[in-house]
């Protein structure tokens, strides 16, 4: 896929999941085969006010490229100003969040709440596009609720105002993450616009990735929750779509070694104290589906230092090899 002048290889991107898609996880997924990553969403207002926590979300390292930074907000002039400030971090792409369903974002008019104001969506895209010289993309949902399915309208408005690509999550904001995503809306939008379309929603394996490509004709796919504790989904997708090969699931040692490496990377980025707090949820995701997973997740919730993780890994090996 090519987004204006940015070449993106592979078949799947890592979604910009808040509190999850930090640098440690992005680097791991890139290493394993994610062709593109998007940083955790950052507040446009926070960035214009020079908030340090917001600025940390925008850091881009060379090993992560191609990478987008994602901004959210509902004021065109503030979004444009924040996009200019974001350029200091040298992102390859600026992504505008119009799809986040979180109440703390939508209650302030940002994220998927923007889908209730199609003209405002266009004004934001136009303002950001005029302010920066890198590609500008947009992430949307199917609509706000079942009574306002307007992804097609908004996609066309965003394209008309200069968006270089669009990502569509096939659920409304009201649906959050269930029930099943509607891939038909992705197909229809792909047929209606001339810019690249990235499909998102219910891609949980290499086989479902292949199905989304075939059923929607999308240019690329985005993986979110299915990558949690399972970064191997990226090489599995690549193997199936490049060579028609179905890779096996990772064995126990690979799973535990990758978890250890991932969590050590989190600690390197954030310090052991903060890193191990972050590690608790990741460890729980890595144990999903394993024998004794419930007990292992409970122990994961008490991690405070890397040595605790080593004990947990030893416990997991003991339970699973019995």
Per-residue pLDDT tens for 228-265?
999 999 999 999 999 999 999 999 999 999 999 999 99
Instruction: Calculate mean pLDDT across residues 57-62.
Output: 91
pLDDT recorded at residue 291: 84
The arithmetic mean of pLDDT across residues 287-316, rounded, is: 93
Average pLDDT, the chain: 95
Is residue 17 very low, low, confident or very high in pLDDT (cuts 50, 70, 90)? very high
Other CB atoms closer than 10 Å to residue 235's CB: what's the count?
17
pLDDT score at 321: 59
φ, ψ at 176 (rounded to 5°): 55, -105
**How much is the pLDDT for 178?**
83
CB 142 within 8 A of CB 182: yes
β-sheet bridge partners, residue 140: 98, 168
Among candidate residues 29, 100, 218, 267, the one labeled active-site is 100
Give catalytic status of residue 29 as yes or no.
Answer: no
Provide the pLDDT for residue 289: 87
Return the structure tokens found at 265: 């990377």
pLDDT digits (tens, 9 = 90+) for 134-153: 999 999 999 999 999 999 99
Contact at 8 Å (CB) between 66 and 55?
no
DSSP track, 50-94: T-HHHHHTT---GGG-SEEEEEE-S-HHHHHHHHHHHGGG--SEE
109 to each of 28, 167, 239, how far by Cα in Å? 33, 20, 41
User: What is the reported pLDDT for 292?
Assistant: 87
Alpha helices, DSSP H only, in 137-232?
A: 151-160, 184-192, 206-216
Complete domains list, the chain, with CATH:
2-243 (3.20.20.70), 252-321 (1.10.1200.80)
Global pTM value:
0.95
């Amino acid at each position: 896929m090519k987004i204006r002048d940015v070449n993106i290889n592979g078949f799947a991107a890592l979604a910009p999941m808040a509190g999850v898609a930090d640098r440690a996880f992005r680097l791991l997924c890139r290493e394993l085969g994610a062709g593109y990553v998007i940083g955790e969403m950052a507040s446009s207002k926070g960035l214009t006010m020079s908030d340090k926590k917001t600025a940390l979300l925008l850091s881009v390292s060379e090993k992560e490229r191609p990478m987008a930074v994602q901004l959210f907000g509902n004021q065109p002039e503030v979004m444009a100003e924040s996009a200019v400030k974001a350029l200091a971090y040298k992102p390859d792409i600026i992504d505008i969040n119009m799809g986040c369903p979180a109440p703390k974002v939508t209650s302030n008019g940002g994220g998927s709440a923007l889908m209730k104001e199609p003209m405002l969506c266009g004004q934001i895209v136009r303002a950001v596009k005029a302010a920066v010289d890198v590609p500008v993309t947009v992430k949307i949902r199917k609509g706000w609720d079942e009574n306002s399915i307007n992804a097609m309208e908004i996609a066309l408005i965003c394209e008309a105002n200069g968006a270089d690509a669009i990502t569509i999550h096939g659920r409304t904001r009201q649906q959050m993450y269930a029930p099943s995503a509607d891939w038909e809306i992705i197909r229809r939008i792909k047929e209606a616009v001339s810019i690249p379309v990235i499909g998102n929603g219910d891609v949980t394996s290499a086989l479902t990735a292949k199905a989304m490509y075939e059923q929607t004709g999308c240019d690329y796919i985005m993986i979110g929750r299915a990558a949690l504790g399972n970064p191997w989904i990226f090489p599995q997708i690549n193997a199936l779509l490049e060579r028609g090969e179905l890779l096996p699931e990772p064995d126990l040692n690979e799973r535990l070694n990758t978890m250890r490496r991932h969590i050590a990377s989190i600690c390197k980025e954030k310090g052991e104290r903060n890193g191990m707090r972050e590690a608790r949820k990741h460890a729980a995701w890595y144990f999903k589906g394993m024998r004794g997973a419930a007990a292992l997740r409970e122990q994961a919730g008490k991690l405070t230092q890397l040595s605790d993780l080593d004990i947990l890994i030893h416990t997991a090996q003991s339970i699973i090899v019995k």
